[in-house]
Structure 1
Amino acid sequence: MEMLTIGAFARASRLSPKALRLYDELELLRPARVDPETGYRYYAPEQLEQARLVAWLRRLGMPLADIREVRALEPAAAAREIRAFWARIESETATRRDLAAFLVDHLSRTVPAVQTVPTVPTAPRKDTTMLELRYSALSDTGLVRPANQDTAYAGTRVLAVADGFGSGGAPASSAAVEALKFLDHEPLPAGGVLNLLEDAVQGATQAVQEVAGSTAETGTTLTAMVWTGSQLALVHIGDSRAYLLRDGDLFQITHDHTMVQSMLDEGRLTPEEATTHPQRTLLLKALLGNEPSPVPDLRLHDALAGDRYLLCSDGLSAVVSENTIKETLTAAPAPAEAVRALVASANDSGSPDNVSCVVADLVNTEAQ
C-alpha cells in the first residue's frame, strides 16, 4: 500500500506536521520510513488509528509520557488506563470546583471595610434562622482489639474522629484531635475557616510526628468539621467518614483515601469485590510520623435546620451497612442515643476494630 507524506498523514489524522515531528523525536509515533537523502517522513495508512488515538488523548489533556504507555497496551488495558486517568482528572476538578465555590461565596459575602453611610443596629430579620449545634461523641474498643487507638471528640464548634494505627496509634490520634480543639474557642478569621483548617492540619501533622518519633508505621486518619454559625467546614484525610442525614436521606460526604477506593473509582473493582479485597484497609493518605502533611480534602457545607451529621471511624462503616446507619440515625431522638445505638450495632456485628462515632444535630432554637 502506498505511503502517505507527512502532509497527507497530518490531514488524515488531524495532527499538525509540527506535532508529528515532535512525536517522532519523542518516539511516540515514529514514521514508517524516512528518506535517507531528504529526511522526509512517510507514514503507513495503518498508522492512522494510532495517530488518531494520540490526538484524542491529547484532547483529554493526557501527558505525553502517559500516552506513550497507553499506546503500547492492548485495547482493554488501554481502556482501563484511560478510565483511571479520567477518574483522577474528575477528582482534581472536584477539588478545584469546591475551592472555586468557596471563593465565590466568600467574596460575595465580603463587606466593604469603609462604610460611607452610618448604620443603625436593627433587630434580626424574621427569616433569619438561629441554628445551634447539639452533639455527642463515643469511642469503644470493640470486641477484638486489645486497646483503643481511636479518638472521638465533640465540642461547641469542633467535631472530630481520628483512627490511629501502628505502635503509637492511640497517642497519634489523640494528638491530631488535640491540635484542632483550639478552634472551639478562638475567633474564626474573616478570611475563611478553610485556611485555618488547612493550617490546623499542619499542626496536627507536627503533633503526630512528635508522639510517633518518626516511626513509619505510626499514624492516624483525621475527619473533622468546624461549625461557623451558618456552615460546617470539613477537613478529611484517610478512611474515617462523614455522613449527612437530611430529609430522611443519608449522604456520605467524604471520599475514602484508600487503595481500594481508588480502584473502585478507576473501574478496576466492583463494590462487591471491594468488600473482600485484601488491601481494603491500605491508606493512600494519612497523618504519618515520618512524612509531611498530605493535602487534605477541604470544603464548606451549607447548614439546614434538622440536619444530622455523623463522623465515624471505619470500625463502624466497615461492619454496619449504610441502611442500618440510616435507620439508626433516623430513629434516635438525640445524638447521645444515636452514638450508643451505632456502637451497639458495630458490636453486634463482631466489632473487629475500634468503633468511634460523633453525631451532631443542627437545631432551630427559635422554634423551641
Structure 2
Amino acid sequence: MGLLTIGAFARAARLSPKALRLYDSLGLLVPARVDPVTGYRLYAPEQLEQARLVAWLRRIGMPLALITRVCGLDAGAAAREIRVFRARAEAEAAARRDLAGFLIEHFERKDSAMTSATPPLEIRYAALSDTGLVRETNQDTAHAGSRLLAVADGFGSGGAAASAAAVEVFRRLDAGAIPAGALLNTLEDAIGSAAELVARTGTGSAPEETGTTLTAMLWTGSQLALVHIGDSRAHLLRGGELFRITHDHTAARSMVADGRITKAEAESHPQRSLLVRALARGADTTPDIRLRHAEPGDRYLLCSDGLSSVVAEGEIRRVLTAAEEPSDAVRELIALANGAGGPDNISCVVADVRERPPGA
C-alpha cells in the first residue's frame, strides 16, 4: 500500500484532518512526506498504529504534551504513565463528586415532615494541645466552641503565629449566623483570608517556609461542614467503627493516588510528611470541603500529626470508644502520644453529637 492522503489517513485513524494538522505542528504525528508543490500531507500505513493510539489517549482526556511523552516511551513505561494518569483522573473525579455532593446536600430542601421528625442536635466538646516531649515550643493551635472545631499545625520560623492566625479567621464564624445558601462561599472566603494572613506571618530569612495545616468543622445545627488542608486529620466514630474522613495532602499520599507506591509503603516513605498543600506562601492552598450529616451518638476527633504519626488507629478507636466525656478522651490521647515518645506537638479536639435536652 502506498502513502495515504490526509483525508484517507484521517478516516482510517478516526481522527479529523484538522487534528492531524495540529499533531504535525506539535511534532506528535509528522507526515511521512509533504508534497513540495501542493503542500499536501501524505502518511505511511505503518503510522496508523500511533495515530490510533493518539486518538484513544485523547478520548481518555490526556493532554497533548503528555501524549507526546507517552508515544516516545517503550510499552512498559507507557503503561506506567497511563496508569498514573488514570489514578490522577480518578482522584480529580472523586474531588468533583465530593463537591457536587456538598452542593446537593446544602441546597436540597427537606420536606416539612422530615424536618419536623429530626430531633434538635448539639455538640459537646473539648480541646487540648501539648508541646510533647521533644519540641521546645508548641506551634499547634486547637479550638473547640459551640459552632467551630479546629486544629492547625504550624511549621517554619513563624509556625505558632501561622496556626493561630488560621484558626482565628475561622473563630469569627463561631460568633455569627451564616446566611442560608452562603455556607460554601463563606468557607471558601475564610480559607482565602486565612491563606493571606498566614502568608504575612513569616519571619526571619526564609518567610516562605512558614505555614500551617488546618482541619476545621463548622457546626450548622444538624450538619458539620469540613474544611481540610494539610496532614492534620479528622476521624468519625460511629456505631463502634472509626472512619478517617480526611486525606493527607502529602507527597507520599499523592504517590499512592498516582499508583506509584502502596498505602503501606506510604507509612514509612521519606516524603510521608512533605506537604503538597498547606496554608503557606507559594503553596497550593486549595482545601477539601465536605458536608457531613450528623447523627446522635457520633463522636468526632480532629488531631495534628503529633498524635496520628505515633499512635495507631486501633488505639485511637479504643480511647474514643471507652472515654465517657470528650475531655477524658483528649487527655488520654495526648498521654498516649507522649507515652510513645512525644516527638512532636500534639493537639486533639473531640466532639460528641447528642440530642438537645428539652427546653435547652
| Structure 1 residue matching 2:200: 3-state secondary structure | helix
CA distance in 2, matches of 1:252, 1:48: 48
Partner of 2:197: 207
Q: Given the alignment of the two structures, is residue 128 of structure 1 paired with residue 118 of structure 2, yes or no?
A: yes
How much does 1:350 deviate? Answer: 2.0
Partner-residue secondary structure (3-state), 1:183 = helix
Deviations 1:320-360 (A, max 9, x none): 22222222212222211111222122222222211111111
Shift of 1:126: 6.3
8 Å Cα contact 2:276/2:284 also seen in 1: no
Match of 1:349 in 2: 340
* Residue in structure 2 matched with residue 179 of structure 1 by the alignment: 169
Aligned-residue CA RMSD in angstroms?
2.6
**Cα distance per residue 1:178-209 (max 9 Å; x no partner):** 11112111112112322212111222223323
- The match for 2:102 is 102
Alignment partners' CA distance in 2, 1:49 and 1:344: 63
Q: Which moved more, 1:253-262 or 1:208-217?
A: 208-217
Superposed CA offset, 1:213-258 (max 9, x none): 5811111111100000011011111111111111122221112111
Opposite residue 83 of structure 2, the aligned amino acid is R
Aligned partners of 1:123, 1:237: CA distance in 2, in Å? 37
Give aligned-pair identity as a percent: 64
**Shift of the alpha carbon at 1:123?**
12
- Per the alignment, residue 188 of structure 1 pairs with 178
TM-score w.r.t. the length of structure 2 is: 0.91
TM-score, normalised by the number of residues in structure 1: 0.89
Shift of 1:124: 11
Contact preservation (8 Å) 1:201, 1:293: no
Where does the alignment leave 5 or more consecutive residues of structure 1 unmatched?
A: 112-121
CA contact (8 A) 1:173 1:221 kept: yes
What secondary structure does 1:177 align onto?
A: helix
When residues 324 and 32 of structure 1 are mapped into structure 2, their CA distance, relative to the original with a 3 A threshold, is farther
1:115 alignment partner in structure 2: none
> Is 2:248 the counterpart of 1:252?
no
Q: Tell me which of 295, 298, 308 is aligned to 2:289.
A: 298
Shift of 1:3: 4.0
The unaligned stretches of length 5 or more in structure 2 are none
Match of 1:241 among 207, 213, 233: 233
Q: Which moved more, 1:321-330 or 1:306-315?
A: 321-330
- Alpha-carbon offset, residue 95 of structure 1: 2.9
Partner of 2:298: 307
Q: Is it true that 1:322 corresponds to 2:313 in the alignment?
A: yes
Q: How does 1:63-74 map to 2 (within 5 A)?
A: 63-74=63-74
Q: Is the contact made by 1:106 and 1:192 (CA closer than 8 Å) also made in structure 2?
A: no
Assess if the C-alpha contact under 8 Å between 1:241 and 1:255 holds in 2. Answer: yes
Q: Which residue of the partner structure matches residue 117 of structure 1?
A: none
CA shift digits 1:89-133 (9 cap, x unpaired): 33333333233233333433299xxxxxxxxxx999762212110
CA displacement, residues 138-194 of structure 1 (integer Å, 9 cap, x when unaligned): 111122212111111111110000000111111111111111112111112112322
Aligned-partner SS, 1:134: strand
